[in-house]
A and B are shown apart, each in its own frame.
Chain A
């Protein structure tokens, strides 16, 4: 389903703030812990993070404020230089890139959306969207079609001449999204894009985002502090605490097998049946031994299947993928336990 080809790969990435973090880290014999770093006069934002982002997936980095998630994102886009480790983006070690090559990478491959939009107040919607294209040196006529296309994509047609302060928060973020998509980036960074919006607008924007991504298939790193948002959007979730990635897994895995008590606390009040999909719970089976009868879709959540689970009398149900092939079978009792709770 997703080609397992890493677009971004982080190896033992550290980011400390302080006078000479690089030397401090290379001088340390082993990985220092939080107290040691603090005692040495440094602030640790990202500690020893290793993770990969695959082609076409949505990786959500979730953590509370101060967990280092935004810093990690800024390291991936090299808005911040890392203190130690390597980050390879699209086959290039970005720490080694020259200023010129970095700008070239950003002009062709990367787009970023910001929490408080980061719009230029003196430019219209059109002016903001055209900014990255101007930076590339595209002339006015060549870029006009593309500008109008992305503005239409985010549903702001008719407001091209408005200034940011004349728009609502949701509309402003649509401008931010359009701007970040203007250069057709392969990699899309979103830094808490919906956090400063009202809950209703946020919901609407999340759906909008999924709709956009359905058509675009970008490689996405999405930052949020909202666990529900992470579950809704993610292919995989990386949960951060104190600069460390404590678990990086699919939503099902995070909910079903939290790696630490910290992660478990987030999942406690989550209705697992709405998160876990049949495909995630299915046990691998060859087609020959699979039970016969109607199959359930791998994409359905157990919550959606609740009626079937209750009414069906088979012990296990076949699960079929998007292409109609049976990919495994679902243990009905296990699934029911998850939906209605274990029998006591």
Chain B
């Protein structure tokens, strides 16, 4: 719609818009150049402007907790979750709780995973699943991995169920959907830490807090996908249901939900990936498992073992992703009518056989039941030795890079960001908003950054913004040539896309490991991790954008006598640009999240403050900071989406 309006807007409107842009731009430049003459209240938000938002939020939460007695409610919910966690903890790693059956021997779990993998995606997935659990067991990480999995096994189903219920409710009531949409937008741009602080206040720390924060964090995509899936059910299928005489409930349960199966299962996939990402980070609030180990090892700079744990997390991520995706995309296949029962139940029987064998053998050979840390085949020490050599060998390069980036890139850019008067920044953003989407967008930009001004965290936000800008810029320098190279032929682009898909499933934490390995724990490592993380969506959407250009367009340009270069410049890039900008949008979002997570290495931005808020359980401060991060993300999202929809040809 907006594109139609943009194209149809009379020249007068466009001229007025252009003049507003010029005026605002000029104001921004004038304020920046004449900063010495500016009153202090335009340099930085003056004290009277800064609202005690954190105190208000804290007062509100105190009211909820103490006066409304919400604490009792949350504690009892937590009690329920804990009961479930105890069951999985007992089964998976033998915690001393009901049903006192566990721990299940690792060989049994590995075999089970292999059979499920085979059922979902054939031999390839079976090998992947079996290999993952074999690796975990052999590396002596079994207990940690099971601590992590025991939480996912509880959190993911609860989250899926909640998401389904809310999604269906939102689908039934347009009002609720309209109310939920902005909430989900904010929720999906709040950094992980912002979720943890209220949970610490209401639940405490430990596995149950980890489980609950994981549930809350992973619900939004499920709600989205359920709603989307239900909306996408073809009219004809619904009409055919009605004409068959289905009542309202029959339509929902037997027609709509099963037809939306694929989208709902993709929601399940997203829930599980979000769970894994959160459960690893929940180590910050005392959640034991792989994440906590990784955090400790990274802080102690034990690179070799961190790499091992990192690999475990990566393998788990790939396995869980491939499993759920195969499940989502699987089409039902008919089985011949007459079939002996052992044919029909072939896989369950094989599973039963294998499990019996594995369980029996593990009675005889304890090594098949449990491999302790000591017996593990960890080769962390070897990695350390090799890496030490490598690091020494490339030290001149990394050291120079470190020096160059800090002195010539980071410090100048950061200083430039901090040098800008805040009024000039607001004016500049208003100009950009005007240029992209007229007055409404300008107001949105000013409102978002105005919030940051009154929140009292201007300088910290500018440091975060600078880190994101620098990182995305560096990422773009690598990503675009890579993407162009990849689009050279179909096989190559498919392979690069596969790599991007796989890498994108990794929890963000993982990206820090190689960077800390190379640069040590400092700013450069943080930016390096953010660059890696941001490059993935850039490469991916650029390839998808360029390969998505209709062949007929390229052929038509070729027949018009365009050279390869001309085709690229006049056809491929302009048509692919909206898609590429979606990638830029995601890159910004990803880098924001990553910058905040990397705070524990020691940065000076919002993330650092959030960590402090977390350790002092300061809900107000945590939410104020979280919203500051979210507003940056939402503003960029608004600008890019608005722009992309205005250049996309109206069809």
Which A residues fall within an 8 A CB radius of B? 74, 77, 79, 103-104, 106-107, 110-112, 114-124, 131-132, 135-136, 160-163, 165-166, 176, 179-180, 183, 189
Cα distance, A44 to B97, chains bound together (Å) = 68
| Leading 3 A-B pairs by shortest Cβ distance | A107-B245, A118-B240, A118-B236
On whether the beta carbons of B246 and A135 are closer than 8 Å, the reply is yes
Minimal Cβ-Cβ distance residue in A for B248: A99
B234 at the A/B interface (Cβ < 8 Å)?
Answer: yes
Given contacts A112-B239, A118-B236, contact A135 B245 (CB under 8 A): yes
Quick one: CB contact mask for B261-300 with A, threshold 8 Å, 1 for yes?
1000000000000000000000000000000000000000
Cα distance, A111 to B239, chains bound together (Å) = 11
Given contacts A114-B236, A115-B236, A135-B250, contact A106 B242 (CB under 8 A): yes
B552 at the A/B interface (Cβ < 8 Å)?
Answer: no
Given contacts A107-B245, A132-B245, contact A118 B239 (CB under 8 A): yes
Which B residues fall within an 8 A CB radius of A? 234, 236-237, 239-247, 250, 254-255, 258-259, 261, 331-337
Given contacts A120-B258, A135-B246, A135-B250, contact A161 B334 (CB under 8 A): yes
Given contacts A161-B335, A163-B333, contact A120 B237 (CB under 8 A): yes
Residue in A106, A119, A161 whose CB lies within 8 Å of B336: A161
On whether the beta carbons of B243 and A122 are closer than 8 Å, the reply is no
Query: Within the complex, what minimum Cβ distance (angstroms) separates B328 from chain A?
Result: 13
On whether the beta carbons of B244 and A131 are closer than 8 Å, the reply is yes
Chain B residues positioned under 8 Å from A132 (CB to CB): 243-245
Chain A residues positioned under 8 Å from B239 (CB to CB): 74, 79, 112, 114, 118
Given contacts A77-B243, A107-B245, contact A162 B334 (CB under 8 A): yes
Query: Within the complex, what minimum Cβ distance (angstroms) separates A125 from chain B?
Result: 9
Chain A residues positioned under 8 Å from B259 (CB to CB): 120-122
Cα distance, A43 to B356, chains bound together (Å) = 68
On whether the beta carbons of A179 and B333 are closer than 8 Å, the reply is no
Minimal Cβ-Cβ distance residue in A for B235: A118
Cα distance, A74 to B246, chains bound together (Å) = 16
Cα distance, A115 to B261, chains bound together (Å) = 22
For this complex, 18 residue pairs linking A to B, each with C-beta atoms less than 8 Å apart, are: A103-B245, A103-B246, A104-B245, A106-B244, A106-B245, A112-B240, A114-B236, A114-B239, A118-B239, A120-B240, A120-B255, A120-B259, A122-B259, A132-B244, A161-B336, A162-B334, A183-B245, A189-B243
Chain B residues positioned under 8 Å from A160 (CB to CB): 337
Query: Within the complex, what minimum Cβ distance (angstroms) separates B257 from chain A?
Result: 10
Chain A residues positioned under 8 Å from B258 (CB to CB): 120-123
Cα distance, A106 to B234, chains bound together (Å) = 20
Cα distance, A118 to B240, chains bound together (Å) = 6
Given contacts A162-B334, A166-B334, contact A79 B242 (CB under 8 A): yes
Residue in B240, B250, B336, B337 whose CB lies within 8 Å of A114: B240
Given contacts A112-B243, A160-B337, contact A122 B237 (CB under 8 A): no
Query: Within the complex, what minimum Cβ distance (angstroms) separates A111 from chain B?
Result: 7
On whether the beta carbons of A122 and B334 are closer than 8 Å, the reply is no
Given contacts A118-B236, A122-B258, A122-B261, contact A110 B334 (CB under 8 A): no
Cα distance, A124 to B335, chains bound together (Å) = 10
Query: Within the complex, what minimum Cβ distance (angstroms) separates B344 from chain A?
Result: 12
Cα distance, A103 to B334, chains bound together (Å) = 31
Residue in A111, A116, A124, A166 whose CB lies within 8 Å of B236: A116
On whether the beta carbons of B245 and A117 are closer than 8 Å, the reply is no
Cα distance, A222 to B385, chains bound together (Å) = 79
On whether the beta carbons of B334 and A136 are closer than 8 Å, the reply is no
Chain B residues positioned under 8 Å from A180 (CB to CB): 243
Query: Within the complex, what minimum Cβ distance (angstroms) separates B308 from chain A?
Result: 42
On whether the beta carbons of A118 and B237 are closer than 8 Å, the reply is yes
Chain B residues positioned under 8 Å from A166 (CB to CB): 333-334
Query: Within the complex, what minimum Cβ distance (angstroms) separates A281 from chain B?
Result: 39
On whether the beta carbons of B335 and A103 are closer than 8 Å, the reply is no
Cα distance, A160 to B242, chains bound together (Å) = 23
Residue in A136, A161, A176 whose CB lies within 8 Å of B245: A136
Residue from A103, A122, A135 whose CB has the most chain B CB atoms within 10 Å: A135
Cα distance, A121 to B262, chains bound together (Å) = 11
Cα distance, A160 to B335, chains bound together (Å) = 10
Chain B residues positioned under 8 Å from A114 (CB to CB): 236, 239-240
Chain B residues positioned under 8 Å from A107 (CB to CB): 244-245
Query: Within the complex, what minimum Cβ distance (angstroms) separates B277 from chain A?
Result: 31
Cα distance, A106 to B336, chains bound together (Å) = 33
Minimal Cβ-Cβ distance residue in A for B247: A103
A107-B244, A114-B240, A120-B255 given; name 9 further pairs at CB < 8 Å. A106-B243, A116-B236, A118-B236, A118-B239, A120-B241, A122-B259, A131-B244, A166-B333, A166-B334
Chain A residues positioned under 8 Å from B246 (CB to CB): 103, 135
Query: Within the complex, what minimum Cβ distance (angstroms) separates A233 from chain B?
Result: 21
Minimal Cβ-Cβ distance residue in B for A137: B245
Cα distance, A118 to B337, chains bound together (Å) = 25
On whether the beta carbons of B332 and A122 are closer than 8 Å, the reply is yes
Chain A residues positioned under 8 Å from B335 (CB to CB): 161
Cα distance, A180 to B239, chains bound together (Å) = 12
On whether the beta carbons of B240 and A119 are closer than 8 Å, the reply is yes
Query: Within the complex, what minimum Cβ distance (angstroms) separates B334 from chain A?
Result: 4
Chain A residues positioned under 8 Å from B333 (CB to CB): 163, 166
On whether the beta carbons of B334 and A116 are closer than 8 Å, the reply is no
Chain A residues positioned under 8 Å from B244 (CB to CB): 106-107, 131-132, 135, 179
Query: Within the complex, what minimum Cβ distance (angstroms) separates B375 from chain A?
Result: 47
Given contacts A106-B243, A120-B258, A131-B244, contact A163 B237 (CB under 8 A): no
Cα distance, A163 to B258, chains bound together (Å) = 14
Chain A residues positioned under 8 Å from B245 (CB to CB): 103-104, 106-107, 132, 135-136, 183
Chain B residues positioned under 8 Å from A123 (CB to CB): 258
Cα distance, A117 to B261, chains bound together (Å) = 19
Chain B residues positioned under 8 Å from A131 (CB to CB): 241, 244, 254
On whether the beta carbons of B243 and A163 are closer than 8 Å, the reply is no
Minimal Cβ-Cβ distance residue in A for B237: A118
Chain A residues positioned under 8 Å from B331 (CB to CB): 163, 165
Minimal Cβ-Cβ distance residue in B for A163: B332
Query: Within the complex, what minimum Cβ distance (angstroms) separates B456 from chain A?
Result: 47
On whether the beta carbons of B334 and A163 are closer than 8 Å, the reply is yes
Chain B residues positioned under 8 Å from A136 (CB to CB): 245
Chain A residues positioned under 8 Å from B247 (CB to CB): 103, 135
Chain B residues positioned under 8 Å from A135 (CB to CB): 244-247, 250
Minimal Cβ-Cβ distance residue in A for B334: A161
Chain B residues positioned under 8 Å from A106 (CB to CB): 242-245
Chain B residues positioned under 8 Å from A122 (CB to CB): 258-259, 261, 332
Cα distance, A225 to B244, chains bound together (Å) = 25
Query: Within the complex, what minimum Cβ distance (angstroms) separates B600 from chain A?
Result: 46
Given contacts A103-B245, A106-B243, A135-B250, contact A124 B237 (CB under 8 A): no
Query: Within the complex, what minimum Cβ distance (angstroms) separates A94 from chain B?
Result: 13
Query: Within the complex, what minimum Cβ distance (angstroms) separates A16 from chain B?
Result: 19
Residue in B240, B241, B334 whose CB lies within 8 Å of A124: B334
Residue from A118, A160, A162, A180 whose CB has the most chain B CB atoms within 10 Å: A118
Cα distance, A103 to B336, chains bound together (Å) = 35
Residue in A111, A117, A120 whose CB lies within 8 Å of B243: A111
Given contacts A116-B236, A118-B234, A118-B237, contact A161 B243 (CB under 8 A): no
Cα distance, A172 to B239, chains bound together (Å) = 17
Query: Within the complex, what minimum Cβ distance (angstroms) separates B234 from chain A?
Result: 7
Query: Within the complex, what minimum Cβ distance (angstroms) separates B408 from chain A?
Result: 58
Cα distance, A121 to B333, chains bound together (Å) = 11
Query: Within the complex, what minimum Cβ distance (angstroms) separates B177 from chain A?
Result: 20
Cα distance, A106 to B259, chains bound together (Å) = 22
Chain B residues positioned under 8 Å from A111 (CB to CB): 243
Minimal Cβ-Cβ distance residue in A for B242: A79
Query: Within the complex, what minimum Cβ distance (angstroms) separates A114 from chain B?
Result: 4
Cα distance, A124 to B334, chains bound together (Å) = 8
Given contacts A161-B337, A163-B333, A166-B333, contact A110 B237 (CB under 8 A): no
Chain A residues positioned under 8 Å from B243 (CB to CB): 77, 79, 106, 110-112, 132, 180, 189
Query: Within the complex, what minimum Cβ distance (angstroms) separates B489 from chain A?
Result: 31
